Amino acid sequence: MTTQQRDMIVQDFEKYMRYTLHQATPFTLEAFAAFATSLINFYSGSKLIENTERTESALLLCRSFNAGLGNQISGEDIHEIANLIVSDDTLDYTLLNPIFSH
């Protein structure tokens, strides 16, 4: 994965975090997983990442989410969450609209 791809992923995650804070919406693990799943599937479908980069992208998103929680999620759980994210083929544009409209 390139530096540009990593930056894109982190920036989109940060945009979504700012959006949820602005909306006073709790950014729970469930909400994060739904967002991350849609984002990874969008990136894959748009060829912004290769299929082989899906897991690495999900791990980057999970680590960013974990950092926002003060690194309370264990490394093993991070990998489990990332695997769940890449195993789901859901693409919900309503979750992605806030990051693409700002």
Give the residue-averaged pLDDT of 31-54: 97
Range of the domain at 22: 3-100
Write b or e for each residue in 82-96: b if 16 or more Cβ atoms lie within 10 A of its Cβ, otherwise e: beebbeeeeeeeebb
pTM score: 0.93
Q: Give residues with Cβ within 8 angstroms of 87, minimum separation 6.
A: none
26 pLDDT more than 90: no
pLDDT value of residue 35: 97
Helix (H, G, I), strand (E, B) or coil at 44: helix
pLDDT tier at 7 (50, 70, 90 boundaries)? very high
Residue 16's nearest CA partner among 64, 67, 83 is 64
Q: Is the pLDDT of residue 102 over 70?
A: no
Task: Kindly report, residue by residue over 46-78, the tens digit of the pLDDT.
Answer: 999 999 999 999 999 999 999 988 999 999 999
Give Rg (Cα) of the chain.
13
Tell me how many domains the chain contains.
1
